Structure 1
Amino acid sequence: MIIDIAGEPFNVHLDGPENAPVLMHSNSLSSDMSMWDAQVRAWQGQFRILRYDSRGHGGSVAPDRPYSIEELGRDAIAILDHFGIEKAHWCGLSKGGMVGMWMLTHAPERLGRVVLANTSAHMGPPELWNGRIRTARRGGMEALVDATVERWFTASFRERAPERIAAIRKMILGTPVQGYAGCCAAIRDMDQRWSIRSARNPVLVVVGAHDPATPPAAGQQIHEAIAGSKLVTLDAAHISNIEAEAAFNEVVGAFLRS
């Protein structure tokens, strides 16, 4: 469904029993809410699952300007407010994990248990992101899709799941260039390495053993910064909830239910 947040459209979806605990999913860069389809199938009997296309992605607003992690975090809070949800568990991957870290330090009372998957508190250097912005604006998402898929999944997964990869390529290619660029700027300018030390919510950090985008060391840094957090490593590259679907559903689901 399309909802209006301060005059801007956001594409959201609610699944699961109305009286169940709310779980909010936040997507990665270059994806949309469909990246969580397997988790919805696994968990919709236990949670009221709220998914949304992040600003710049899918069917949501995509203004042509730089965004910030704060702006993306305030979008998530506004969506919760729209539905009258005071508190929700959080499961975000990559960019979605970055938004989760911002909420942990700026709106912790709105969150219950928090999953930060395949993410980082800081991702330099700036030229990496400026280069991706230039590539997208010059060649569209077609110029980025091959390298993105290679970062997201191991070669063995790409070989054994060609239909999944084809669907994911289509999702990446459907990302608005201006939205991709705006979110690249948000990631480029983010540094949450010190602020997350104040987090007190229960946190599970998920890393992919073969993740070249947010490598295990990035997850370890988050784990060490957040007191009492848990760390789990899955046999996957960057999009672990798809490549290691069964293991992700098991360990993350157990954490969210505990």
Structure 2
Amino acid sequence: MLMADLGDVRLHYRIDGPEEGAPLVLANSLGTDFRLWDGLLPHLPEGLRILRYDMRGHGLSDCPEPPYSMGALVRDAERLMEQTGFRDAVFVGLSIGGMVAQGLSAKRHDLVRAAVLSNTAAKIGTRQIWEARIAEVAQGGVEAIADAVLERWFTRNFRTSEAIKPWRNMLTRTPKKGYMGCAAAIAGTDFLTPTSGLRLPLLGIAATEDGSTPPDMVRETTDLVPGSQFALIRGAGHLPFIEKPAEYGRILTDFLKGQGHI
């Protein structure tokens, strides 16, 4: 178990792969921890050096009092990459992790050489929507919103199978304050201008059954960056590599190869 002391917060993280491997960072979504990526790793090429971490307020990382700012979440990723020696990396961000990817790509060209924006956007929802969700969690915990969230995360077939159980547990065990804090960060973020200014290799990934960030939303953000690529996964929801790990792994691998990263 590895903990990074960043001064104002301690983050739980994990590194897989050889020390000399090409650096890849995976940043996950609201209401999950870094185990989210476990099923994807076997579908990625050998030899990568992969950094995963629990966002503040999630998993085994510290849970400061909410609200959090997106700037704080970007700084967390920035300081963690510096501390672990992850430079010139490809940064893959899912949902709120994709917002972190946008902010970090605009801020630290030395850390991020290419970015993958998966099931995310420059702006997700409205402040009113997020404030209503924060209020609901404040009153009833994450359990109060779990069914609605899972409906956006997964297809009907997946939700009605036994496979849904560990993901429901992961979601509902997210600390209430951590969920509220990161939800506040999303509510206050509009990266339209900084993302429009990005000039780095970028891949957007969307899924047809995503109820949180539909394909058109992901494509609009991806199209802000000249020369960007876009991939659509059919028959999956907001966390597409859970339902389609082999397809997601192939798309990501092709992008890494195309950038000469592997």
Question: Mapping of 1:177-216 within 5 angstroms?
Answer: 177-216=176-215
Distance in 2 between the 1:86 and 1:114 partners? 13
Distance in 2 between the 1:257 and 1:39 partners? 17
Q: Give the C-alpha shift of residue 7 in structure 1.
A: 4.5
Distance in 1 between the 2:46 and 2:127 partners? 42
Question: Mapping of 1:224-239 within 5 angstroms?
Answer: 224-235=223-234, 236-239=236-239
Task: Indicate conservation of the 8 Å contact 2:44/2:250, yes or no.
Answer: no
1:125 match: 126
Q: Give the C-alpha shift of residue 88 in structure 1.
A: 1.3
Task: Indicate conservation of the 8 Å contact 1:31/1:175, yes or no.
Answer: yes
Distance in 1 between the 2:165 and 2:252 partners? 26
Q: Deviations over 1:37-60 (max 9, x none)?
A: 022223362310000001111111
Question: SS state of the match for residue 38, structure 1?
Answer: coil
Task: Indicate conservation of the 8 Å contact 2:9/2:64, yes or no.
Answer: no
Q: Does 1:162 align with 2:162?
A: yes
Distance in 1 between the 2:54 and 2:232 partners? 26
Aligned letter for 2:172?
Answer: L
Aligned letter for 1:93?
Answer: L
Task: Indicate conservation of the 8 Å contact 1:40/1:49, yes or no.
Answer: no
User: 5+ unaligned residues in a row in structure 2: which ranges?
Assistant: none
Q: 1:67 to 1:75 in 2, by over 3 A?
A: same
Q: Does 1:56 align with 2:60?
A: no
1:5 match: 6
Question: Mapping of 1:13-24 within 5 angstroms?
Answer: 13-24=14-25
Question: SS state of the match for residue 108, structure 1?
Answer: coil
Distance in 1 between the 2:32 and 2:230 partners? 24
Q: Deviations over 1:138-193 (max 9, x none)?
A: 1011111111111100102223x423x10101100111100100111100010011
Deviates more, 1:178-187 or 1:84-93: 84-93
Aligned letter for 1:222?
Answer: T
Question: SS state of the match for residue 115, structure 1?
Answer: strand
Percent identity between matched residues is 36
**Normalization by structure 1: what TM-score?**
0.95
Task: Indicate conservation of the 8 Å contact 2:22/2:89, yes or no.
Answer: yes
Q: Deviations over 1:55-98 (max 9, x none)?
A: 11111111112111111111001001111232211111001001
Q: Does 1:99 align with 2:100?
A: yes
Q: Deviations over 1:195-241 (max 9, x none)?
A: 11111111000011121210111111112201110001001111112
Aligned letter for 1:143?
Answer: A
Aligned letter for 2:169?
Answer: K
**Normalization by structure 2: what TM-score?**
0.94
Distance in 2 between the 1:16 and 1:232 partners? 26
Question: Mapping of 1:17-32 within 5 angstroms?
Answer: 17-32=18-33
Distance in 2 between the 1:44 and 1:227 partners? 27
Q: Does 1:76 align with 2:73?
A: no
Q: Does 1:34 align with 2:31?
A: no
1:143 match: 144
Distance in 1 between the 2:257 and 2:49 partners? 13
Distance in 2 between the 1:189 and 1:7 partners? 21
Q: Number of paired residues?
A: 256
Task: Indicate conservation of the 8 Å contact 2:3/2:11, yes or no.
Answer: yes
Task: Indicate conservation of the 8 Å contact 1:151/1:238, yes or no.
Answer: yes
Distance in 1 between the 2:205 and 2:85 partners? 29
Task: Indicate conservation of the 8 Å contact 1:17/1:44, yes or no.
Answer: no
Question: SS state of the match for residue 205, structure 1?
Answer: strand
Task: Indicate conservation of the 8 Å contact 2:9/2:56, yes or no.
Answer: no
2:171 match: 172
